Amino acid sequence: MSDLLDVDKVSSKMAETCQSDTVLCGMFVRWFDNAVWAPIVASLITIVLILVVAFVIRNLAHRLITRVVNSAATGGSLTNRFRKNAATDSIDVLLHERRKQRAETMGSVLRHIASIVILGTAALTVLDRLTIPIAPLLTSVGILGVAIGFGAQELVKDFIAGMFMLLEDQYGVGDVIDAGAAVGTVEAVTLRVTRLRDADGRVWYIRNGTITRVGNESQGWSRAYLDVPVPYESDVTTVRVVLEHVAEEIWADPEFRESMIVEHPSVFGVEQLSDSALVFRITAKTLPSRQAEVARELRLRVKTALDAADISMVAGA
């Protein structure tokens, strides 16, 4: 008997809720010619409609998020800034893969957030339609949220920092970065931690929220440079011609031009003056993380060229 009274009570409350809704529920009631059972059926139809609309909005939001994230992750080609060759094509391939991975990660996170917000709102609306009081539930969730916020604020900070790091493409797997606490190659990136391996093989786990600045040696392009100290009495023009010949020589070498160097090397001229030496600088833009190989080759070729021109170098300058 009490169960019947509870059912009648719920039915009456649903009818009252339906009467207060003059848009959807009221329209359905009029369709059933204001029958006694019409408010109950109209409420159930409204609940189904709310769920259907919620899933439709969720799917639309997922499509919109995917489109926006993919568009934001698309950047300009390096071939627009440097002379087109195999090296710049290789950089474009790497950047495209990085953008794809970043888009997939950010899209997954944003789609989960959208699903929670949309379906959570729909669930609360359905509970309200079923005359289940949601005020205590909202109060409990609010108190729980505050408690979790105080207890896990460092975790939340890490997640927020990780999201912005991925969205801005600050670094990715394979990059050589200086994260302050450690310098090394990125082996894994999550929303909470970044895993690095340094030159000694040591693995570092760094919380994203603790990273205040990042130096990325592998993004876009790198620069190899070499300072060449020669005696103070050396002829500046002769030294510059020798270094420019080295720059032309390495740029013409297919091994370096097609796989390492993305722009013609430059000779800056006299970079420093001291009481014992003139310091010239030669630089070359390279593929990410290939600057060390190019610098080693520059040292070898510069040494050979200077010896051939009978120009000595100043030690310790």
pLDDT of residue 4: 39
Does residue 115 share a domain with residue 7? yes
* Number of compact structural domains in the chain: 3
Do 173 and 113 fall into the same domain? no
Which residue, of 132, 150, 181, is where some domain finishes?
A: 132
| 301 or 169, greater pLDDT | 301
Could you tell me which of 285, 282, 287 has the C-alpha nearest to residue 302? 282
pLDDT for residue 187: 86
Give yes or no: residues 112 and 11 share one domain.
Answer: yes
Average pLDDT, the chain: 78
DSSP string over 181-242: S-EEEEEEE-SSEEEEE-TTS-EEEEEGGG----EESSSS-EEEEEEEEEETTS-HHHHHHH
CA dihedral 253, 258, 264, 270 (to 10 degrees): -60
Asked if the structure places residue 266 within a domain, the reply is yes
Q: What is the DSSP letter of 261?
A: B
Does the structure show a pLDDT above 80 at 220?
no
In a domain, 251, yes or no: yes
Domain that holds residue 276: 222-308
- Answer yes or no: is 284 within a domain: yes
Provide the pLDDT for residue 241.
Answer: 92
Residue 123 lies in a domain: yes
Query: Which has more confidence, 103 or 9?
Result: 103
Residue 155 forms part of a structural domain: no
* Residue 120 confidence (pLDDT): 86
pLDDT at residue 5 is higher than 50? no
- pLDDT tens digits, 268-309: 878 888 778 899 999 998 887 788 889 999 999 999 999 998
Does residue 245 sit in the same domain as residue 270?
A: yes
pLDDT of residue 38: 55
Report if residue 313 sits inside a domain: no
- Dihedral sign, CA of 60, 114, 25, 4? positive
Predicted pLDDT at 8: 54
Residue 267 in this model has a pLDDT that exceeds 80: yes
Q: Is residue 158 part of a domain?
A: no
- Residues 212 and 229 both lie in one domain: no
Cβ–Cβ under 8 Å, residues 51 and 127: no
Rounded to the nearest 5°, which phi and psi values hold at 203? -95, 130
- 120 in the same domain as 61: yes
For the cut 50, the answer to whether the pLDDT of residue 1 exceeds it is no
Q: pTM value?
A: 0.56
Q: Are residues 94 and 187 in the same domain?
A: no
Mean pLDDT of 131-138: 73
